[in-house]
Every structure is written in C-alpha cells, then in structure tokens.
Structure 1
C-alpha cells in the first residue's frame, strides 16, 4: 500500500495533465527567450493548486532555474513583506542574504525604493540563470508584497523571471490585480482548476489505497465533489474508521474531529494553540500558549506529525493544509478563540516579536478599552508607515475605535490616526476623523494640536482658505504649547502663500520662522521655510525662493527636489545637475517621483525633449504606484507641449485629455491655469485664435501668483496669441508681467531676455528683439533662445534685412531641430523658404516610429548598455540617471524594436553596422 498520505506528487496531478503541459511550455519559453512570464493558478481550497505549483517548481529546477518559493499566511497577511520574504530568503540560491534583507527592511523610506532594490537583486540573479518565484495562497499576501507583485513582473519583464502564483477565486481577489498589472507587458497565463473527473478521482483513490476502488469507496468519494484534498482526507478517514470499526463521517471538519479523537489531550491542545497562531507557527510559541515547558510538548508534536496533521521543516511547524488548520480552528468555541488570540498577542510581545507580528491577534481578540492593545497598534503603525501607509492608517483607525469616548488617550491616538491617514493619501478620512475629535470639545491645548495636525491634510486637499481659518482659530483660542503655536503660525503663513497679499504672507512667514528657531521645533522650522519658499516663488522672487528651499533641504533632505527646481529658476543648471547626481547616487533618495519631476524640469530647460518626456512618464508611473498624484496634471500639460513641439498632434491631444481628467480630480488654481493655458496652445494650433486668447485671459484671471509659476518661460507664446487675436491690451499686460518678473530677477538671463522679447513683440521693436537675443545668449535654455531668434528673424524680414533675417532664422531652426522640436523647426523652415533661403539646409525630419532609427539618443545609450550585459542599476549609474528612468527607456526600446528580451536586444544590437 501507499504511505499514509499517498503519493502526493503523483496523486495530486491526476487529471491535471493539460495544466502541467501549459506550465511546462511557459517554463521553456522563459528559459528560451530570456524574457519574463507569469502564471496564476486559481481554484477552491484543496483543489490541487499547491501540488501543481510544487510540480512546476520541480520541473523548473530541472531546467536550471534558481527557485524562490514562499507561502502567504492568513494570520500574517498584514505583516509587511512577510509573503515575499520567504521567496527571496530561501531556495537554491537565495536572492537576498538574511543580513541584506534585514538591511533592506531597516533602511527603507519608501515602497518604491524597496521594490527597486528587490528588482535589482532578482535581476542580478537572473543574469546567470533563469529565476522562478512562486507564491502560494496569494489571496493572503500582505499589502507590501502585493504592491511589489504588481510592479516587479513588469519591471523585470526583460529578464528571465517566471512568476507562479496560486490563489483562491474570490471577488476582487488580489491575484487578479497582479495579473491585470502584468497583462500586455509579458506573457500571462491564468488557469482555473475545476473538480477532477470521476476517472481521475478513481486513480487518486487507487494511488492512496493501493487497491482497486470498490463501489463503497466510490460512493463515499462522491461527497468530495471532485476536490482531491477532500478525497484524500476522506480516504485517510476511511482507513482510520476501518481500523477502529467506526463509520466514516462525510464532512471534513467532522472527519478531522473524528481523527483527533484518538489523540492525547495534550496533543489536541497543542494543535489548537497552533491553529490560533496560524498555518505556520513556532514550536516554542505553541508550547508557551499551552502553558507547558517545551520538553512537555515534544510528545504532542511527535503525535501530531505522525497523524499527518503537521509538517516540521526544522524552523516552523506547518499544518499540512489550510483546510486542516481551519478544521481544527473551527472546533474551538468562538469565545475561547478571542481569549486565545489575546493570549497569543501578549506572548508574542513578551517573547520579543515585532509589534506587527502580534497585531493579527489583537485585531481578532481586542476589546474596547484595552489600552495595551491600543499601544501595540500604535507601535505597529509607526513601524509600517514608511512602506505601507495604508496599513498604518487601518491599524490606527482600529486603535481609535478601541478607545472609548471621553478618555484623554483618544486624542493622542486620534492625532496619530490623522497623520497616518494623511500619509496614506486618505485626506478626507483624516479630516473627518479630526472633525469628530474636535466636535467632542477637547481641552484648548488639544484643540490647537489637532488643528496643527490637520494642517498637512488641508494643504494636500488644496484647501488653503480653510487651512488659514483653522490655523488662526487654533492661535486665537490660546492655551497652545509653544511648539504647537509655532506650527500653527507656520501653517498660516503657508496658507497665505496662496493669497494676493504676498507681502503680508512674507511677514507672517518670517515671524513664524523666528518663532520656530527660538523654540527649536523642527516641524515648525520645516513648515516655515517651506511656506517662505512658496511665497517667494509665487511672488516671482526666484533668488529668495532658492535661498529658502536650500535652507529647507539642509534641514530635511526630502525637500531636495524643491531646491533643484529653484536652482533652475535662476538659470543655475550646473548646480541643479550636481544635486541631481547626488540624489541619483543615493538609491534611497526620498520622494522619488518628485525627484523625477525635478529631473524632467532640468531636461526640459536644457532642450532635451526626449529625456524630459521620459522623465515625466516615469514620474507619473511612480505617482500611480503610490497613488499620490501630485504632478500628474502638470506632467501631462508639459508632455502635451512637448508633443506639439515635436509635431505629434495625436499624442498632444491624448495628453490634453488626460490633463483634463486629472483636473477634474484635483481642481486647484495651479492645475486649472496650466490646463487652460494648454487649451490655448491647442486652440492656436487648431487655428482658433479667439478661443486661444480667451483661454489666456482665463489664466491671467485665475490667480495672481500664476503669472510667475506658469508663464515664467511661456509668456512669449501667450503674447503671440494675444497679438494674433488683436488683443493688444492683453499683450501689453503680459509684457508688463514679464518686465516685472525680470525686475525681481535681474541676475537671471532668461528672465531679462524674455522681458525684452515680450516688449519687442508688443511694440514691434526690432532693437528690443535684438537686445533680447543678446541677453538670452547667456541663458542655458535653448528653446527659449530659439524662440527669440525666430521672433527676431521675422522682424528682420519685415524690415527688409534679409541676410540678417536668414541667419537668425537658420539659427532658430537648427536649435529647435537639435532639441527634437521638429514642428517648431518646420515652422521656421517655412519662413526661410518664404524668404528664398529654404534650400540652404533642410530642417531635421521626424524619426520613424519603429526600428533602430526610432530610438532617441538616450534610448540608444540604454539599449547598448543593456545589450552589453548591464543591469538597470549599473546602466543608471553610468548614465547618471534613476533606474526608474532606465526602465522607462528600456520599455520604449523594446516596443520600438519589437523585441521581448535582453537576449533578443543584444542580438539586434550586435547586428548593427556600428554595433
């Protein structure tokens, strides 16, 4: 006869031949092509998902794959990274050592950084052998592991990495989200395991019993409904019943109970304590919950293993199947379960486990008023908020529910809840929670503290007026602690940065900064400097803004992107590039999406349209991943303008549509003005000058500070629209704003040059346009210079100075073309042709859409480096860009070259004439 559980590999595969063949084909494809793949095996509990996964892993190992295999656990589903940890720490060649993993989780600051580092580790391993990463029971994966699973398959699609997931079919199952994120980027397979056929069940019974299946057994197996695990358990129960002359109950829970009846009482208690701890648990933890010395539980463990209920892998004990654990757990009275979960939480904390390890038990066993449970939830939320802010928000929401109204602790917990909800982007929930706490009439000091805590929430919601009102209310009430009063004063100044009276805002900010410095409160200091930086930017005082943001980033390096952008506004691109290089060297740079925004502004300013577009694509992707859409609208506005400069009207319209969608979600004054101006640009391109002028006028009326933030470098375009629409008063207003901006920034060549250009356009003053070109020779912005040369060339043609006009227009055309602004170059070329000089040099033609010639200069660099065997990280280090940007370039390279793997790319590059 077969062993007590039958031949698990063979019997579990009865009736699954088609699925095995499909998985084998995917394994072979990944190994052959060198590109990624993903398979999801779905089905009800016990249907054979794990057995199929184990078989696929065995075949992949035989094919030379390095394997990492893990299993998610129902009671550990909130512990960050617990699900994927087993996948990267165990296997033939662990993707990360234990020390490296510990460093990874200790030093994280963002989910994006954590996932990127893991991607680099997997990519490096896949460079020498294909990799299989398998995760069983993905429906219980923790939020951080799910976040990684949604990013990693696509991020690693160009490496031979095969992802195998198993999960139950449930509404809104997380596994389906993982597949959806990968679909279209790499081969994906979803197989749903149905009930086994009668023939397969008979074969399985024969495997298990080692005998021909008779009618009695076949009748019994009908109750399994084609589920192989239930069938095997019934057969095991049948043998037990035969040995004891008892009838075999048909249902699993009752059947397991029947099997447990023969166990010693100590073994039964040990199993129940294990079921409370989870599918996988520590022998010492279970023994401690039993209230017995470790040695006294050894016999219980031996008996449970012999009975086929537990497996012992040397580190942990594991119920042989989730259904077994659930059956044992279901046999514990509900009231006892709660008490046992509370005991488990207390034991885990006392034994030195992390707070988050005890949280699942707290969530199942805590009662209102349990302050120890609340404290544990607070500690766990603090631990996980950097990488799973949504989980931290959930934990604190639960903690707040456990604190009865009227207890002072409720306000402390409420404050942390607001902060976590805001960090998770759940601003409306944060505001609602804060308002409920404020409505309970807290003491004056608590009232002020809560208003200060809500400051970040209100700022994120673009409610500057409400932020001001609440900050002033908190200050007016009195009773605030000095540091809270300083924060409220800084928040008030920040809110005033969106007001028309920026002089009053500046005074408020300076006062707040002095108070923060005197008191020594870091948060108030950061808020005051940030507010002063915003005020200076909105006032068009770029040098002052740089001073403030440089001081701010010195206090908090998370604000380095603001300092970089401020350097660009004073034409100091060298300093901006130096800071960007420093940020690139630090793989853990915070606010990576914002850093890409700064990189995009840098590349755009230098006329690197292709690189700028890639930067903003990457920025939007990262913001989507963390679901914090800060610059989505403005990114799309700029990408639309880039597309128009290139001559890609279809892409430009797509970006405009996306910007409008983003504006509907986040309709703040800045986004509104940016979209209105983009609509003006599109209207002009469509020949509707009247609509274009109307949109420009809307921008001017949207908000005074928008004059500096939006039209700083685009005012010449707006003036041309106004002049074409015979709106001279509007054109004069725009020129006056450019002149005022130059007066605020006399040391910035771009500002002074654009002011001269604006005045020259409005007054049709050739001498002023010539002065503009001279001033802009010192500007590092080639597109700004090209526009000024084009305006001068047109004016020289009108003045009959053809030779000088041709020289100026030629310079403009060539500068536009070198930046990839082919549509702009073509417009200048037409002017040259009109002057009879078109044959001297043709404007650069647009790139094809497919093939090597379709690649941008940066894409070609990335393609060659990857073809040479570089990883994304090493290529990024050589190019001094983010690995995220390399990934964006590589995605475009694969699409344009119609290749699916690094191997194919290398072959193509090697075949190039200059390769």
Structure 2
C-alpha cells in the first residue's frame, strides 16, 4: 500500500532525527483513522514517543481539547510541565480584560513548549485524527509545530476531512500547502479493490448482485464494511462458492450509512442503546462521571451497560474517558433522539456539567446546542462565567451572549452583566462598531456606579480602536462630567483620555494636564493601574518633547506602580517597552539590551513568552546595534503569530508598521529589492488616521526612499524623506536618526534649501534633548555634511564609537570619508572608507558598500587592495552569526528550544527561527546532525549570554 510506504519513510527519517508533517485527507470512512492508527503502531514498534488523539465533532470544541488528551495534560500529572499547563487552563480567575486577552495565546505557547521539551528526550510522533474538528487554539499549535517539525525530531500526522467550516479549512490549508508536507490523499477504492475487500469480509468471492449493491458505497471502506455486516447480521447473504445477496434485499438494505449504523445496534440490549443515546449528547468522548451527573445515578448502576457497549464495539476506552468507536456511530445515536427532546436534554447536560466543575466551554457548548433562550439558570451562569468563557472561547461566548441579550430582558442586573460581557468579547475580537452600540444600550440600564464607570471605559476604547478618536475623546469628557463616577474609574478614564488626546489628535498640552489630573485622582483612589496608565501617558509626552530623562523616569515609575505581580500584563509590557525606547534615545544601548532581557523575563513569567510586540521592539533595537540577522530572526518569529500586533487599548497597529518597515529597510540595504518591495506594499497598505499611526511610519518611509535611490532617482528619494520633516503636533517620530540621510541626498541633488531645512530640524531636535545624546550626534553629522567640516563629523564618530551603535557609526564614517576626500586628504579618507566598509560588511549592507565606494570613487579615492569586501559566506559554520553559533552549541548540548530561549533571552519562536537558519546554512535536516557536526568542529563550553 503506497500510503503506508510514505508513512514508513517518514517514521524512518524521524528515527534519525529529521521530523516532518504528514497530511492525510479524505472523506469520512475512507480509511484515514486506520492509516493514523497504523502510523502510531509503526512509531511505537520503532521506539518513538507516540501521542495520538481524535478531535471531537462539536460546534465549539473545548480550548486545546484534543491536544490535552493527546499529550495527557492533566491537573494531577506527575510531570510538572503538564500539571502547570493544566492548572493554567483551569484557572477561573476573572480579571480585567486588558490583562486577560492573551491567555489563549499563552496556552498555545505552553503546549508548543511542552512538545519541544518532549522532543529533546527522543523522536516523537504527534497524531491528530479529524483535525478539522479541532478548536482554533489546537489548530494554532498544529500550525506552529508544522513550521518547525522538520527541525525537531517531531513527526506531525494530521488527518483531515474536507468540507468543514470555511475559516477552519483556510487555516488548516496553511499547513497542507506547505512545500515540505507529505500529502497522502485517500480516494475511493478502485473496483478491483472493492471486490478484494468484499472477499476479505465474507471469506469467499462476491457475486454480481453483491458487487452491484456494494456500488452504493462508492468505494468507501467503512460503508462497505457496515453494509456487509448488516447483511450478515440479518441473514441476507447466501454464502457458498461465492457470496450473493438474496432477491429480497433490494429496498431492504439501508441505503445510508446512518441507517446501517443504526442496524448495528439491533443486537444490543435496549437499556444499553438508551444509555448510548444519552452519552451521545456529551460528544464523541466523555467521562463516566459526566454521564453519571447527567443521569443523576452512580456509575455502578450503569456499569454493566457500559461494558456491554464496549463489547459490542460501540465504545472504546480513551485513557480515563470513553470514546465512541466512530463519530458517525455517535451521530446515528444522536439523530435517533427527537429534536425537541434533544434541546431539553442539552440543557440538562449543561446543568450537570456545571455541577462537576468542568471548564466553562463544555457547559457553553450544550447551552448553545439546546437552543433554549431565557432560562433563568442559564442566564445566571452565563453572567457569572462570561468573563472566563470570553478568555478561552470568544466566538462561543459572543454567540451565546448575543442570543441572551437580544431575548426577553428578564432580570435587569443579570441583563447588565450579560451586556457588559458581550461588549468585552466584541472589543477583544475587533468588533468595535457593534461593541460601541451594545455599550450605549447598556449604559441606560446601569445603576451601579462601578459598572457605569467600566462601561464608559469600554465605550471609549471601542470608539478609539474603531478609528473614531474624536468621538472617544468627546465621550470621555461627558463621562468625566458625571458627579457619580467612582474615583478609581475617574482616574482610569482620565488616563485613557490623556492617551487619546496625544495619540489621536496630538494635543500635547491637554494630554499632559489630563495625565497629571489622572495621577492625582489615582493617588486618592489608591489605584495602581490608573497610576501606571497615567505615567505611560506622561512618558509619551516627554518622549515627544525629547525629554528622555523624564520619559525614562515616567516609564520606570509605571513599572514600579504595577509591582511584580502578573496582573495588567499589557500595560506593564507597554511601560517596559517605553523604557527600552528611552534608553536608546539616551544612547544607553547596553542598558537598553538589559531592559529588553528584563521585559522578556516578565513576559515569560506572565505566560506571554512569545509576545509579538516585544519581538518588534527587540528588532528595532537590534537594527541599530547592527545585528541585522538577529533582528530578522525576531521579525520572522513575529510573522508566525496569527494575532494582531497591538497594545490593547493603548496603541493599535504601530508594531505592524514597524515590522514591515524594519524588514524592508534591512532588505533594501542588503540589495534584496524584491523582498523590500513586498514589505513596502504590505506596510503602506494600511490607513494612516492618527498621530500614533504616523509615528510608526519612519522605517517604511526611509525604505521607500532607499528604493528610489537604488533606482537612481535621488530627487524622489529626497521627497520620500521630506515627509519626516513635517512632524505633527504630538508626534513622537525620531526624525533626527534619518536627517543625515536627508541632508546627504539634498546636497547630492544640489538642493541647498532642503539641506538647510534638514540641518535646522536636526538642531531643533538636539536642542530639545535634556542631555546631549543621539540627536546631538546626528546634528553634528548634519552640520559637518553641510559645511564640509571633518572636525564636526569626527565629533559624531566619537559619540557613536563610545556608545557602541555600529549602524550610525558606519554611515558617519562614510560621510567623513567623503568630506575628507573633498578637502584632498585622500589617505585619511581611505582609512575612514575602509572602516565604514568593514562595518557595513559585518551586517551585510552590500548596497551601502557599493554606494560608499561610488561616492569616494567620484572624488578620486578607491579602497585599494587592503579593503575587505562583504563576501559573507552563505554556507557552513563560517556563515553562522554569533547568536546562531551560541544556539548551535546549546542544541548540541541537548537543550530544548525553551531552555535555549531562556538562556539567551530570546523568545521561543525567535530561537526556532535561528535553529531553522542554522540547519539551512549547514545543509542539515535535524538537531541530531547539528550536535554531531558541533562535536566534530570542537564547539563546546559555556555559552556567554
């Protein structure tokens, strides 16, 4: 069988350390599950770790449900890692939505990390049958693992049935269309194979009538098996030299698989069938305790019927749970219950499950299936469990909450709670227009002042995130005018207003005054969140004014106000990233790196190990430090994240623009013009509405200018940069870091007025700095270019050399070489050119080397034979960056991806990106090969972080 041969080959590759993905696809009953089972058997026979599971056919499957079963993640697991994940998933704390929105993503990260850890112990097979029924988080895990399986000793085997929900199918197709995936399509059996299967089932060759009847199964093995079993069971086959159906069979044998499956139950005691019908309400898999709770009987009372179901092949054991042998068998039983009775029973199931303290998703699934609206118990449960349910299953929560809110009002207190939960879910899901509408409706019903304060907060956030900043500000003013607003909410609304005033319209004076009012009110209320939020607003204002010492003090004050607990994760992350930004502006690059490590330690402790925005922050820092390969590794890791890059409620969309901008600029400097163009298209394909949108465009603008320069259109390159000079009120954009480039281009096209404008803009930035730092050095460079004074440029060189920022140092040395050459000092010009070129070569800036040589050649200076070229090796150990060498050493030491990430202060995804690149550069396919090659190279010892 060719399909088995492909699986055998994949498992054999796994044994030597090379993983991969096998995608099995076909209709129900075609043999997917049998092939998955065969793969698992082969894996066990060859000594691999094997974890397998079957996704359940539910409208809203539980969060990570199939993978929890597959990987045996239980609260009482003896493995601390599994127990920690189970504890995290069963935590029912109801926390502020700003801090809770990332829990599902954190759970995904934890499961991926567990698989990574298991792979360090030996080759592993992870098999998921019927993956089309898996929840979104489980699919995210599969997508993440599919992208790295080839670099781990991991074989991911997924079976898929076409025809599922469009969005699920689209996300799964991301896996199926990968070039490195082994696809195993299963189609109908050929006529000769159908005859062979019939013969194997009845023991003799099939007759013509049986073959014609079997044609109704359209080559489906399960259909054929059920058909033959029903014929044998009801004595409708004459078996002699061949097997033939009796004449009376036509019209008697069931024509649908569901009917055939019902026929399978004819020999099972009636009590067992009824028990199975009840169990079918619980899903494809269930715990005996859940069935006992639903029946209101101890398990001992129905244990005989359960055993009978196992003997009859209706149920099979699934660890501590029971599972229907085939989903369609369960469907046949389920469909046998009248629809009206099913609805009532699903409500009973929901009540029973709630009493057993299962996760709220399970209860919610049965509430949805019941179709019952307005039930007092259901509304009370949904009001209480809504915040937790929203964190784990937002789509399910929204559907249930909408249904209840739009029904009969009922108890007003309960209705208010439902409305607030619905608005929170809609905001987190990006449904800002509906969220605003729901909050407005609820505000007229609310009596409690705290609830009213929270609703005002939610409405402002929905309006701002939906692009209606003016409306958000106006609403906050109206809310703050109310006399019954509690102090804590007044402080939070003031802090939010300050943020919107600056980020939306750039009204810096108003934002400052509002933030200080928020600080005073927060002190009165003793509210740490409001204090920290107000301080981040002041951090932004100070940064705009280039008061970087004050900005740093504000960011650190916000961090201190929040303390060391994991609450308010997004706000604390925002403050930590602000601290990194301020340290860069003060030219404290070493401290900025330390601050990045601190931020990552916090995010790891908060189960946000692969925070998207942290990756963008790291990439910007690494760009200026000349560690472009590391920056790209961070950005590639960000690209794996399916969530939007945003600080919820604080600043939307900015990280996404920076992601494309930094990627495009590095690609442009390296001469990778196609890649740069793709990022430019994606980066500019977003509307620019607010000041916050503009202040994240600078890398994109510079990358577009560089592309024009490479086309030879220096005037267009200058015009693209000209947008940076038009810094709007309240805009934070650090124009000084790009102005030397602007002045250089202006002089190249002989536009002295533009050059003067660039110099004056840079001098203004420098004058605003509390202490001379980056802007002061940029101003020296600009003045030196304009006047042709090498001494002024040397001052900038000295600053960049002392602070350790090679990208700006290289550009300034190039400018110095040009000025020296124009003065006739060719010897010193050549020295500066050599150093600049060596630095450019270090981070792969091949375009900059060509440009620098062309500028100097036109002035009579050539690098000569002493000059080194940026011929960076593309393959072998010499091609590895310093970070990649450290990662390779830790891989060779048998460390897991999570361990390596923690050791080197990286995210897991960034670490995996480094491993992928190491394998590509070394021409290898597995970690095992890296370890062997590292030993041969003599690499070892302690890795210096």
Q: What does residue 26 of structure 1 align with? A: 10
* Equivalent position to 2:277, from 264, 267, 272: 272
The reply on whether 1:571 has 2:587 as its aligned counterpart is yes
Q: Distance in 2 between matches of 1:497 and 1:447?
A: 25
- The question of whether the paired residues in 1 share the 8 Å contact of 2:619 and 2:662 is answered with no
Matches within 5 A, 1:625-704: 630-662=654-686, 668-672=693-697, 674-701=699-726, 703-704=728-729
Shift of 1:598: 2.4
1:507 paired with 2:529, answer no
Q: Which of 612, 631, 637 matches 1:618?
A: 637
Q: For the residues of structure 1 that align with 2:834 and 2:231, how far apart are their CA atoms?
A: 92
| Cα separation, 1, equivalents of 2:79 and 2:191 | 42
Contact 2:82 2:114 in 1 (8 A): no
Pairing 1:130–2:114 present: no
Superposed displacement of residue 775, structure 1: 4.6
1:244-301 deviations in Å (ceiling 9; x for gaps): 9996544444455555566555333312211111122233433443344433323433
Cα separation, partners in 2 of 1:584 and 1:240, compared to 1, 3 Å: same
Return closer, same or farther for 1:692/1:434 CA change in 2, 3 Å cut-off: farther
Q: Does 1:753 align with 2:777?
A: yes
What is the DSSP-based 3-state SS (H/G/I as helix, E as strand, rest coil) of the residue aligned with 1:668? helix
Aligned equivalent of 1:37: 20
CA deviation profile, 1:440-496 (whole Å, cap 9, x unmatched): 686796666433113333444454333222212322455433333322222211111
Cα 1:329–1:914 change in 2 (3 A) is: closer
Say whether residues 1:787 and 2:787 are aligned partners.
Answer: no
1: distance between equivalents of 2:118 and 2:784?
61
Q: Using the alignment, how far apart are the partners of 1:203 and 1:112 within structure 2?
A: 49
2-structure distance, mates of 1:530, 1:510: 11
Deviation at 1:850, TM superposition (A): 4.6
**Residues of 2 paired with 1:48 and 1:575: CA distance?**
59
CA distance, structure 1, for counterparts of residue 139 and residue 319 of structure 2: 28
SS of corresponding position for 1:242? coil
Q: Given that residues 108 and 137 in structure 2 are in contact (C-alpha distance below 8 angstroms), is that contact kept between their aligned partners in structure 1? A: no
Pair 493,204 (structure 1): closer, same or farther in 2 beyond 3 Å: same
**Conserved in 1, the CA contact under 8 Å of 2:149 and 2:156?**
no
Please tell me whether residue 373 in structure 1 is matched to residue 365 in structure 2: no
Q: How far apart are residue 894 of structure 1 and its match?
A: 2.9
Deviation of the 1:208 alpha carbon: 4.2
CA change 1:242–1:837 in 2 (3 A) is closer
Match of 1:558 in 2: 573
Distance of 1:332 and 1:268 partners within structure 2: 11
When residues 70 and 378 of structure 1 are mapped into structure 2, their CA distance, relative to the original with a 3 A threshold, is farther
Q: Distance in 1 between matches of 2:28 and 2:200?
A: 21
Partner Cα separation in structure 2 for residue 810 and residue 173 of structure 1: 55
Q: Which residue of 1 aligns with 2:866?
A: 841
Q: Deviations over 1:84-127 (max 9, x none)?
A: 11211189x99987524424535895455444443343334334
CA distance in 2, matches of 1:729, 1:406: 71
Partner residue in 1 for 2:747: 723
Question: CA separation in 2, counterparts of 1:229 and 1:648?
Answer: 53
Which structure is richer in relative contact order (CA contacts within 8 A, separation 6 or more)? 2
Deviation at 1:169, TM superposition (A): 1.6
Residue 178 of structure 1: aligned partner: 172
Q: 1:676 to 1:429 in 2, by over 3 A?
A: farther
Shift of 1:377: 3.8
Change (3 A) 1:662 1:496: closer
8 Å CA contact 2:361–2:392 kept in 1: the answer is no
Give, in angstroms, the shift of residue 42 of structure 1: 2.5
Any conservation in 2 of the 1:154–1:182 contact (CA below 8 Å)? no
Figure out how many residues of one structure are paired with residues of the other and give that number: 894
Cα separation, partners in 2 of 1:379 and 1:653, compared to 1, 3 Å: same
Any stretches of 5+ residues in structure 1 without a counterpart? 1-16
Which of 549, 554, 560 matches 1:543? 549
Q: Distance in 2 between matches of 1:851 and 1:432?
A: 59
From 25, 35, 44, give the equivalent of 1:61: 44
SS state at 1:132 partner: strand
User: Does the Cα contact within 8 Å between 1:490 and 1:531 map onto a contact in 2?
Assistant: yes
Flag structure 2 segments of 5+ consecutive residues without an equivalent: 92-99, 238-247, 563-567, 647-651, 941-945
Task: Give the match for residue 241 of structure 1.
Answer: 234
Q: Of the candidates 494, 510, 514, which is equivalent to residue 489 of structure 1? A: 494
Cα pair 1:677 1:699 within 8 Å, conserved: no
Q: TM-score, normalised by structure 2?
A: 0.85
Q: Distance in 1 between matches of 2:129 and 2:589?
A: 50
Residue 14 of structure 1 corresponds to: none
2:912 aligns with one of 887, 893, 896: 887
Say which of 524, 527, 537 aligns to 1:518: 524
Report the alpha carbon displacement of residue 390 of structure 1 after superposing the two structures with TM: 5.3
Q: CA separation in 2, counterparts of 1:213 and 1:22?
A: 31
CA-CA distance at 1:202 after TM superposition: 4.5
Q: Deviations over 1:737-775 (max 9, x none)?
A: 322322332324322222233333345555543444445
Cα distance, 1:647–1:838 mapped onto 2, change above 3 Å: same
- Aligned runs of 1:426-437 on 2, under 5 Å? 426-434=431-439, 437=442
Residues 892-911 of structure 1 show CA distances to partners (whole Å, capped at 9, x for unaligned) of 23334443323444555566
Alignment partner of 1:146 is 2:139: yes
Match for residue 744 of structure 1?
Answer: 768
Whole-Å separation in 1 of the counterparts to 2:897 and 2:673: 32
Check the 8 A contact 2:126/2:156 in 1, yes or no: yes
**2:242 maps to which residue?**
none
Structure 1 residue 332: Cα displacement: 0.8
Change (3 A) 1:428 1:906: farther
| Alpha-carbon separation, structure 1, partners of 2:397 and 2:605 | 21
Distance in structure 2 (CA, Å) of the matches to 1:413 and 1:303: 44
Q: CA deviation at 1:149?
A: 0.7
Distance 2:90 2:281 in 1: 29
TM superposition shift of 1:185 = 5.9
How far apart, CA to CA, are the structure 2 residues paired with 1:737 and 1:905?
Answer: 51
Residue 57 of structure 1 and its aligned partner are, at CA, apart by: 1.4
| Native 8 Å contact 2:433 2:463 kept in 1 | no
CA distance in structure 2 between the aligned counterparts of 1:654 and 1:75, rounded to whole angstroms: 40
2: CA distance, partners of 1:420 / 1:217: 56
Distance 1:90 1:600 in 2: 34
> Which one is further off, 464-473 or 118-127?
118-127
**In terms of mean alpha carbon deviation, does 629-638 or 205-214 score higher?**
205-214
Indicate conservation of the 8 Å contact 1:600/1:612, yes or no.
yes
Cα-Cα RMSD: 3.7
What secondary structure, in the 3-state scheme, does the structure 1 residue paired with 2:804 have? coil
Structure 2 CA distance for aligned equivalents of residues 157 and 451 of structure 1: 49
Q: TM-score, normalised by structure 1?
A: 0.88
Q: Distance in 2 between matches of 1:379 and 1:630?
A: 35
Distance of 1:423 and 1:328 partners within structure 2: 38
> For the residues of structure 1 that align with 2:860 and 2:319, how far apart are their CA atoms?
86
Tell me how far apart the structure 1 counterparts of residues 309 and 697 of structure 2 sit (CA, whole Å).
67
CA contact (8 A) 1:810 1:832 kept: no
Instruction: Find the aligned partners of 1:41 and 1:709 in 2 and give their Cα distance.
Output: 50
